[in-house]
Amino acid sequence: MERTFVMVKPDGVRRGLSGEVIRRYEARGLKVVAMRLEQLTEEIAKTHYAEHSERPFFGALVAHVTSSPVVLMVLEGENAIAAARKTNGATNPIEAEPGTIRGDHALEITENIVHGSDAPETAKREIGVFFPEL
Ligand code: IDP
Ligand code: MG
């Protein structure tokens, strides 16, 4: 069964949407196999988003994800990576379809509530960073 790494970003946690996010994944049939609340350090945030380090928004992204605690989780299920990303919706909430987490609850690209791994190698790396015991 495929596994993916998902994070409820600080805006989602602060707005009290962690339960709503988890509810949607579970309702879809994905199983939570690991989860915790954590304050990310700047170092771990930069490692997690390393692929974006040269982008103009990198500083704002790292500042946001370290601004208050996040909920980290590993989801398991059939096509878990694609299923979680479809449930999240498009990166820019304005482009995200209604019925998705971002399409229903966000307006702004930095504060877009969730992160989800984008490919099997990414999922493996991200699960390894946050849940090495798995
Ligand atoms: P994803 O979260 O949908 O996988 P990525 O392209 O991996 O999107 O970007 C990571 C995060 O960086 C996004 O969720 C978003 O918060 C932020 N981001 C992406 N593109 C932009 C941009 O053009 N401006 C500002 N922030 C961005
Ligand atoms: Mg991404």
The tens place of each residue's pLDDT in the chain, 134 residues long, gives 999 999 999 999 999 999 999 999 999 999 999 999 999 999 999 999 999 999 999 999 999 999 999 999 999 999 999 999 999 999 999 999 999 999 999 999 999 999 999 999 999 999 999 999 99
33, 1 contact by CB (below 8 A): no
Which residue out of 4, 21, 57, 105 has the highest number of ligand 1 atoms within 8 Å of its CB and is therefore the one to mutate?
A: 57
Is pTM beyond 0.95? Reply is yes
CA 81-45-96 angle, to 5 degrees, is: 45
48 counts as catalytic: no
Ligand nearest to the CA of 89: 1
Widest pairwise Cα distance in the chain: 37
Q: Is 61 in the pocket of ligand 1 (CB under 6 A)?
A: yes
69, 102 contact by CB (below 8 A): no
Q: Is 109 in the pocket of ligand 1 (CB under 6 A)?
A: yes
